Amino acid sequence: MEYEAVVGLEIHCRISSKTKMFCRCSNDIFNEKPNTHICPICTGFPGMLPLMNKEALEKGVRGALALGCNIPEYSKMDRKSYFYPDLPLGYQISQYDLPVSEKGNITIKKEDGTTKDIGVTRLHLENDAGKLTHTAGGSLVDFNRAGTPLVEIVSEPDMRTREEVSLYARQIQKIMRYVGTSDADMEKGQMRFDLNISLRPKGQEEFGIRSEVKNLNSFRSLEKAFDYEFQRQSEILDGGGKVVQETRGWDDNKEITTSQRSKEEAADYRYFPEPDIPPIIITKEMIEEIKKGIPELPEAKVQKYIEMGLSEIDANNIAADSHLAEYFEKAFGISGDAKKTSNWLLSELLGLIKADGLSISDSKLAAENLGKLVKLIVEGAINGKIAKDIFGEIYSNNLDPEKYVEEKGLKVMEDTGELERICQEVIDRNPAIVADYKGGKEKAIGGLVGQIMGATKGSANPKSVNEILRKLLSN
Ligand code: ADP
Ligand code: MG
Ligand code: ZN
């Protein structure tokens, strides 16, 4: 039988705040000596009160906004009880029914060029547990990680292939880093995945029974676990069996998943509201404030630029560099023509900047002046050829193109009476060329056009010159 996978991911990212979620211990714990970043709060001494870390909360909300999530005004923390030696409080402080955000989505771009939206069910806040190390002499516990802040990002079961799973996970990492919610460095244990995967016969609507592979800590193991589970579950189904809903672990050496506990044995977390932490209230004003700190994501910029009329390649080139994007948007604000602005920016301006060994952020020419130059071209006040001729000087001295063109008299000659007079003069001076043209040599007219462009210092519109000449010569 041919099967299709259905996958939802739960992704944990360590929030990059200075201190832990509910105490003042440092959150910078990588490679630190065990149990050197702990206090009575994160190790759960009786009578200690946790206090919500504002930086961690704001960074969490920032990440949620970047995933397009709604931020309800009211949310709260809950206790999720379970007993394990690395969990000193006997419960994790997490969010159950009222998370800090919900209903977002992100777009992934596939190898074949198509895109797909993956729903984000929620992003919520929680704290991490400590870490156990098992040795021959016994198990050791390090509480440095206990109480460090996490965002958990739960997806809808929207992924169907390994490629989609991998792209979604990478995109989440990119977004968390871009907006500064998490460094999401997997080498440092700052990002982990739980893979929920079920199979269904191709064409069937209804989802199959899933297994959940916990704590995958690299993209590679995520992809390998997908392959392994796809194979394992297909074999069970082909053999007429049923997949058991269960939690499985990943063995990085053997590259297999192993059963940890089935649904029947699942822990009863006894969720209830955390009584020691007041509800989280996030007002519209706070959201606006947090939004101000979020840069527009490159993908959003690319989309916007394409809608403005840029080619996909140009849009990607500009959006990839935030300085270039800023310059482009400023110049476009003045010129009003996205395509021409990007052409001038990417070929003419960057050409000169690179020749000077500089980069866009130290461009001699202000974005406003590039915008003004393009505007003159768009309005037909100067032609492209003149614009190119004068660009070097404008660039080197950061000149205002409007003033420059005015002073040098380079504006396109709009007075057709004057232009006709010049055309007639040139015709009168060149009887030989006129004879050639009238004798059937169409191309001879070029000689006249050249002289007229010279006489007008290039300010005439060659198309108008051609039309006037043909009219005069047909008499
Ligand atoms: P739990 O609380 O047991 O972890 P959730 O309903 O919160 O269960 O789902 C956890 C993850 O599993 C989500 O990412 C969700 O999209 C995914 N999921 C739910 N049902 C399925 C299924 N049948 N196959 C694959 N993934 C699923
Ligand atoms: Mg789960
Ligand atoms: Zn502490």
Task: Domain 416-473: state its class.
Answer: mainly alpha
Q: How far apart are CA 249 and CA 213, in angstroms?
A: 5
Torsion angle, alpha carbons of 167, 172, 174, 178, to 10: 160
Ligand closest to CA 29: 3
Bridge partners of residue 280, in order along the sequence? 75
> Which run of H or of E encompasses 75?
strand 74-75
CB-based contact 382:408 (threshold 8 Å): no
Mean pLDDT of 314-339: 93
DSSP 264: G
Q: Residue 274: is its pLDDT beyond 70?
A: yes
- What is the pLDDT, as a whole number, of residue 277? 96
Express each pLDDT in 194-216 by its tens digit.
999 999 999 999 999 999 999 99
Helix, strand, coil shares of the chain, percent, nearest 5, are 40, 20, 35
Bridge partners of residue 108, in order along the sequence? 116
CB-based contact 249:212 (threshold 8 Å): no
Mean pLDDT of 362-366: 92
Bridge partners of residue 380, in order along the sequence? none
Residue nearest to atom 14 of ligand 1 (CA): 8
Q: How far apart are CA 61 and CA 111, in angstroms?
A: 31
Q: Please give the structure tokens belonging to residue 125.
A: 């806040």
In 263-348, DSSP assigns E strands to: 272-273, 280-281
Ligand closest to CA 229: 1
Q: Residue 262: is its pLDDT beyond 90?
A: no
- What is the pLDDT, as a whole number, of residue 266? 67
Express each pLDDT in 63-112 by its tens digit.
999 999 999 999 999 999 999 999 999 999 999 999 999 999 999 999 99
- Could you tell me which residue, 457 or 269, shows the higher pLDDT? 269
Ligand closest to CA 269: 1
Q: Residue 297: is its pLDDT beyond 90?
A: no
Residue 150 Cα to ligand 2 midpoint, Å, equals 15
Q: How far apart are CA 414 and CA 383, in angstroms?
A: 12
- What mean pLDDT is reported for the chain? 93
Q: Three-state DSSP class for 392?
A: helix
Q: How far apart are CA 159 and CA 226, in angstroms?
A: 11
Residue 22 Cα to ligand 1 midpoint, Å, equals 29
> Which run of H or of E encompasses 459?
none
Query: In sequence order, what are the residues at sequence separation of 6 or more whose Cβ sits closer than 8 angstroms to the Cβ of residue 39?
Result: 23, 24, 25
Q: Residue 252: is its pLDDT beyond 70?
A: yes
Atom of ligand 1 nearest to the CA of 10: 14
Q: What are phi and psi of 391, to 5 degrees?
A: -60, -40
Residue 195 Cα to ligand 1 midpoint, Å, equals 9
Q: How far apart are CA 297 and CA 179, in angstroms?
A: 8
Integer angstrom CA distances of residue 144 from 38, 187, 244, 247 = 6, 17, 36, 26
- Where are the chain's structural domains? 3-288, 296-408, 416-473
Residue 213 Cα to ligand 1 midpoint, Å, equals 11
Ligand closest to CA 23: 3
Residue 183 Cα to ligand 2 midpoint, Å, equals 23
Express each pLDDT in 232-248 by its tens digit.
999 999 999 999 999 99
Ligand 1 binding pocket, CB closer than 6 Å: 6-10, 154-157, 196-198, 207, 210
Whether this prediction's pTM lies above 0.85 is answered by no
- What is the pLDDT, as a whole number, of residue 379? 86
Express each pLDDT in 383-395 by its tens digit.
888 899 999 999 9
Q: What percent of the chain has pLDDT over 90?
A: 80
- What is the pLDDT, as a whole number, of residue 406? 86
- What is the pLDDT, as a whole number, of residue 45? 95
Q: How far apart are the first and last CA of the chain?
A: 83
Residue 146 Cα to ligand 3 midpoint, Å, equals 8
Atom of ligand 1 nearest to the CA of 212: 12
Mean pLDDT of 408-422: 80
Mean pLDDT of 42-61: 95
Among 196, 229, 242, 269, say which to mutate for ligand 1: greatest number of ligand atoms within 8 Å of CB. 196
